Chain A
Amino acid sequence: MKFTLKIWRQKNAEDKGGMVTYQVDTVSPDSSFFEMLDQLNQQLISKGEDPVAFDHDCREGICGTCSLYINGRPHGPLKGATTCQLHMRAFRDGETIYVEPWRCGAFPVVKDLIVDRSALDKIIQAGGYISVNSGGVPDANTIPVPKPNADSAFDAAACIGCGACVAACPNASPMLFVGAKISHLALLPQGRIEAERRVRQMVAAMDSLGFGFCSNTYACEAECPKEIKIANITRLNREFLAAKLAAEKEQTGGFAI
C-alpha cells in the first residue's frame, strides 16, 4: 500500500513547528500504524534526515504511551483501540493521512508528535489513591465487595491514562480521566473513606492545570480506547457536589458539644 503522510514536525518545545508531507510505499496492510512510521523513519535515516519522534512503548494497547491524532481523531479511525492497535488495513490505499500530536495547553509538545502529559500524573498525585501504607492492612476477604461494584470499579480502572479524552474534547477537558479514577475508588468500600477529600483535591488540581471545562459533548467517550463510559463523569459530578455541600464538616471537624 501507498500513503501520503502529513505529519506535524516540531524540533522542540520552543520551535514553531508545522506540517510536513511524506510518501511511504510498499507498506504491508498487516503492518501496524507504528510499523508504517518505523518504515518511514528508516527511509528518513537512510537519507540522513531526522526521523519523526513519536511516543510508543508496549505496542499492545495497554501502556497508554501512544498518542497520535490521526485524521481528526485521537488514536485514529478504529473504535476502542489505541494507535498501536491500529493496522494499515484500516486505511484506503493511496489515502492521505494527517498525523498530529495531542493538542492541549496543559500538554506542551516535547518534539514532533510527543507531548508532555505529566499534568495527568499531577492530578493523580493530588488524591488518586487510597492512603494506606505497605503493611498493617486487614485480610483481603475481611471486607466483601458486591460483585457489580467490583466490576464497575474495574471498568473505570481500565483507564490507561493516554489522554485521548483530552485530545478529543472540544474543550480539552480531562473529565473522563478524572471521572474514571474517582469512580474506580468511590465504588469500593476501601476508597469511600476519603472519597470527599479525594474528589475536592483532584478537581482543584485539574482546574489549576490549564485544562478546559466539560460541556458534555461526550467526544471523550466516543474516542476512549478503553471505552470508559461518561457515567464516570456523572459520578464525579455527583461526588463533587456532595463533597462541596459537606465541605463544612471536614473543615470544622463537625459540631463540638
Chain B
Amino acid sequence: MALAGVFLLVFLAVHLGINLLLLADDGGKAFSAAAGFMGTHPVIRIFELALFGGFALHIAFGVIVSIRNRKSRPIRYQHRSLSETSPFSKYMMHTGMIVLLFLVLHFIDFYFIKIGVVSPPPGIGRHDFYSRAVALFSDPAYSAIYLFSFLVLGFHLNHALQAAAQTLGLNHPRFTPLIKAASALYAMIIAGGFMAIPLRFTLFN
C-alpha cells in the first residue's frame, strides 16, 4: 500500500511538471514536445506499465484493507466518533474513490484517445493534447470538476507521505515533524499546481 503509494507520488510530480508547461506562453509547443516524448519513448512506455501496476496495487490494497477494516467492527457506535485524528486520514477511501472517478474521466478524455480506443472530438488530432486541454478547460463545468478533484487529491496526499513514512517505520523526534510538513507541502504543491492550470485557462482566456 505504502510502497505503491510512494511510487505514485513520484509519478504525480512528473505529471505536474509536464502539465505546468501548459502555462508557458508558447501556444503549447513545450507541452506538446514533452507529451510527445512521454508518449513515445520506450523507457517511458515500460514505466507506464509499472505505473498501471502501481495504481492497480494501490487501489486493490486500498479496497481490501477497507473491507477488512469495516468487518473488524461489525457493530458500529451509536454516537459518532469525536476522537481526534490526523486530518482526512479517516477518509482516505472516500477521497481515493473520488480521485479514481476523476481518473476514469481523465482516461476517457486523454488516454483512450491517445491509444485510439476513443476517437478525438472533431478538429483535434489524436496526439494534440494541448488543443484538447484548451478545449476542455474552456468548459467551466469541466474546470469545476477538475478543481474539485484535485482539491480532494490534495487532502488525500496531505496524509499520504507522512503515513507512508510511518508505515515504513521512519520516525525520529526531530525529523517526523519535518516529514509531516513536507507531506503537507507536497500536497499543496501538487494540488495547487494542477489547479493553477484550469484557473489560468478559465480566468485569463
Q: Is there contact, CB below 8 Å, between B170 and A217?
A: no
From A35-43, A54-62, A135-143, A228-236, give the one contacting chain B.
Answer: A228-236
Chain B positions within 8 Å of A216 at CB level: 86, 89, 159, 162-163, 166-167
Q: Determine which of B69, B165, B170 lies in contact with A172 in the assembled complex, contact meaning CB atoms within 8 Å.
A: B69
Q: Is there contact, CB below 8 Å, between B171 and A234?
A: yes
Asked if B40 lies at the interface with its beta carbon under 8 angstroms from chain A, I say no
Asked if A196 lies at the interface with its beta carbon under 8 angstroms from chain B, I say no
Interface size class of A (residues with CB under 8 A): 35 or more
Per-residue interface assignment for chain B, residues 73 to 84, with 1 indicating a CB less than 8 Å from any chain A CB and 0 otherwise = 111111111111
Q: Is there contact, CB below 8 Å, between B166 and A71?
A: no
Asked if B41 lies at the interface with its beta carbon under 8 angstroms from chain A, I say no
Chain B positions within 8 Å of A215 at CB level: 65, 69, 89, 92, 163
How far does the Cβ of B14 sit from chain A's closest Cβ, in whole Å?
A: 25
Taking A73-B82, A171-B69, A217-B85 as given, write out 16 further A-B residue pairs in contact, using a Cβ cutoff of 8 Å, ordered by the A residue number: A104-B73, A171-B65, A212-B71, A212-B73, A213-B65, A213-B68, A213-B69, A215-B69, A216-B166, A222-B83, A222-B85, A223-B83, A230-B166, A237-B169, A238-B170, A242-B169
Chain B residues with a Cβ under 8 A of chain A:
65, 68-86, 89-90, 92, 159, 162-163, 165-171, 173, 176
Q: Determine which of B72, B80, B83 lies in contact with A104 in the assembled complex, contact meaning CB atoms within 8 Å.
A: B72
Q: Is there contact, CB below 8 Å, between A241 and B168?
A: yes
Chain A positions within 8 Å of B81 at CB level: 72-73, 168, 170, 219
Cα distance A169–B78 in the bound complex, in angstroms? 15
Q: Is there contact, CB below 8 Å, between B85 and A235?
A: no
Q: Determine which of B69, B80, B86, B163 lies in contact with A212 in the assembled complex, contact meaning CB atoms within 8 Å.
A: B69
Asked if A66 lies at the interface with its beta carbon under 8 angstroms from chain B, I say no
How far does the Cβ of B45 sit from chain A's closest Cβ, in whole Å?
A: 32
Q: Is there contact, CB below 8 Å, between A103 and B76?
A: yes
Closest to B85 in A: A217
Closest to B89 in A: A217
Cα distance A161–B76 in the bound complex, in angstroms? 22
